[in-house]
Amino acid sequence: MTAPVTLEHGLILIADDDESSREILCDVLGGFGYTILIAEDGRMAMQLAEYHHPDLLLLDVMMPHADGFTVCTFIRSHPVLRQLPIMMITALDDPEARLRGLQLGADDFIPKPFDPLEIQIRVRTIIDLNRYRRLWEERVARERSEAALQLRERELVALQRFIISAATANAATRASLLQEACALIGQVFALPVVARVVLGDGAGESLEGHYDTLAPAAAAIVQPIPILVGGQHVGALELHCGTRALEPGVQRFVHSIAHAVGQALERMTLANRLEQLVVQLEAMVADRTDELRAERDRTRAILEALGEAVVVTDSAGVITYVNPAAVALYEHPEALVGQPWATLQPDFGTTALVAQLTAAPERHEVLHAEAIGRRSDGRPLAVALSVAPLRDPAAPQPLTGFVSVLRDITPLKAAEHLKDQFISNVSHELRTPLSVIALHSGNLDTLYPQLGDPQRRQLIREIRAQVRALNELVTSVLELSRIEAGQGLAPAPRRECDLASLVAAEVTQQQPLLLERGLRVEVDAAAPTLVPGDRVQLRLIIRNLLSNAIKYTPEGGVIRCACTTLVAPDPLWAEEGRPPLPCARVSISDMGIGIAPKHLPFIFDRFYRADPERQVAGVGLGLSIVRELVHLHAGRVAVRSDPDQGSTFWVYLPSLTTEG
């Protein structure tokens, strides 16, 4: 048995006596970076949990040696493991069993068979929540420690102030010194205090001070704290503690006060003692100064490390401070301090800020807005600003400047533009087939008796063609959504696939559409072209490229497909990069309208269409899906096209063939 492990992505213990269930769970969760431990029975599950301290326990109910309920009871009663999240997975569809599991402390209860995506989401959620809980507990402990430190700091500050007062006391203020000592203790600890001192200065002078805001209880415990002067007992601070004994910290503090009182009284006769107290005071002031300096440096470090840009300007709009994030945001190679802020944000100038932020000088409002700025090279920069005024009531001009926090929203604006473009394209593409379907179906409904069989079949064929167009549109959107949902996931399992057979299969599947448009496909694939990959994804790559060629090839045209294994460099690689050799190459050429050179760099972008005015169906998703899937297979995609000359797309993938 190995030592416990600490993992970045989490450690999951699967306790299930069913081997197939364990394999499914391992396949579902193994690709997320989790480390999996397997227990085949309840006894092993308890041993592994106690030794490894996993982040999550996936627990079956029916197991040998100890069932899931026994394991759950053991975990919840364990002093270390009782916070371990438990997700019970069972084939039982019994509300009583589910209720019992939840009563014993299970965090979730999922019956078999289960949805792998649901398991992924729930596992990730529970592990994240467990880690957040741990962080919260650490934060609470830290806050308690900070509260204790703050209390200690208040005590030290109060003691410092009292020592300062005591150090300047003289014979005429001895009574007020005692009164202040009592008041200080009473205010800090909410205790009634009485100070009694008899000075042996020849006159036998008796002094007394008290703090009686809180009346002493009738049966209060009186705790005397001696006051010493020159090593002799001259009096005491009497604390009325009620029915509770003083805590050690309170005693130490009160002893310090009593000692300070004795020091002050001794100073009245011993001048040299004053010098010692001054030295102590200077040391305390120096420590406090160091703390303030450290706090200032900490604040500056926070600003320097802050991910959002911070710009501070004076009342005239001249920059006085920028953090590194602001320099990176504007990509400005020169120093920004001393320059007018209007050079960066010309449409959000100081005049407008002053007008809005000085409308009510007594308020410290924050202005939120969006604006367009400029980077150093002149490119536009969309930012979200939060601007707050800097005021100094003691200054002749209360408004001394502005502090602005900026966030780059240029990608957000670009995404909004893409969304608008997508909605426009989809609306256009949906409207035409839906209109045709509605028209033809209406004709069939109202004119059915008057139409002959050829006319009816023609209308039905046209409706089916429009339905096929709608299906292709929805399929493209769903495929892109599925790819985006898989970001960060491990690639699908790689198996040996023959590209030549995949091309032949797709050509066969597209035969009805090819015959309808009078197109012919020539396939050049004499030998198998073997690659490691996912068969479904590779067919989707070929399907999208072939569908593109069918859309743009005129009736009666020819589409050429070729599959080969390369062992020597391809001339295109000077432009597209060099994939490792040997590699497999698939090419699909059409006789279509071609693509202008200005559009070639963008045709693989989502929703981009090089011919938005042409009556060709599509929303610009097919080539984007092709690029994503090719990259997922560690491959490359290239294109060559000329207007009115047709286009050729090449896909390069790692090959399993050793000879060309």
d(CA 216, CA 293): 44
Fill in the amino acid letter for 589. Answer: S
Query: Lowest mean pLDDT: which of 144-158, 200-214, 314-328, 381-395?
Result: 200-214
Does the pLDDT value for residue 561 go beyond 90? Answer: yes
Please tell me which of 167-176, 333-342, 418-427, 528-537 the model is most confident about, judged by mean pLDDT. Answer: 528-537
Going by C-alpha positions, the residue among 236, 206, 240 that lies closest to residue 222 is: 240
Q: Which CATH superfamily includes the segment(s) 11-136? A: Response regulator (3.40.50.2300)
Q: Report the C-alpha gap between 651 and 660 in whole angstroms.
A: 17
Residues 584/657, Cβ–Cβ less than 8 Å: yes
Alpha-carbon span 210 to 196, nearest angstrom: 9
Q: How many CB atoms lie within 10 A of CB 221?
A: 13
Q: What is the percent of the chain where pLDDT is above 70?
A: 74
Alpha helices in 510-654 (DSSP H): 511-517, 535-552, 573-576, 622-632
Worst-scoring range by mean pLDDT, 54-68, 90-104, 471-485, 628-642? 471-485
- CATH 3.30.450.40 in the chain, residues? 168-269
The fold for domain 168-269 equals Beta-Lactamase (3.30.450)
Percent of the chain whose predicted confidence (pLDDT) is above 90: 2
Mean pLDDT, rounded, of the chain = 75
Please state which CATH class domain 495-654 belongs to.
alpha beta
Query: Residues 3, 7, 13, 18: is their CA dihedral positive or negative?
Result: negative
pLDDT at residue 213 in the model: 45
Tens digits of per-residue pLDDT, 595-634? 887 877 777 776 666 554 444 555 566 787 788 888 888 8
Task: Please tell me whether residue 587 adopts helix, strand or coil conformation.
Answer: strand
- What gap in Å lies between CA 15 and CA 59, rounded to an integer? 5
* In the chain, ranges of CATH 1.10.287.130 domains: 414-485
Place of tokens 């893409």: 418
Closest CA to 261 of 210, 211, 197: 197
The confidence score (pLDDT) of residue 560 equals 92
Residue ranges, CATH 3.30.565.10, the chain? 495-654
Report whether pLDDT(353) > 60: no
Q: pTM of the full predicted structure?
A: 0.38
- Architecture of domain 306-408 in this structure: 2-Layer Sandwich (3.30)
pLDDT of 5 strictly over 70: no
Instruction: Report whether pLDDT(3) > 50.
Output: no
Q: Do 400 and 313 meet the contact criterion of CB atoms below 8 Å apart? A: no
pLDDT at 563: 92
* Token pair of 543 as six digits: 């399907």
- Quick: pLDDT tens for 98-147: 788 778 888 877 777 777 787 888 888 888 887 787 788 778 878 877 77
414-485 CATH, one of 1.10.287.130, 3.30.70.1150, 3.30.1360.120, 1.10.150.120: 1.10.287.130
SS (H, E, C) 307-369: CCEEEEEECCCEEEEECHHHHHHHCCCCCCCCCEHHHCCCCCCHHHHHHHHCCCCCCCCCEEE
Res 649: pLDDT: 92
pLDDT at 484: 57
Segment 275-327, tens digit of pLDDT: 656 788 888 888 888 888 888 788 777 777 777 888 888 877 788 888 888 78
For the residues 184-206, what does the mean pLDDT come to? 63
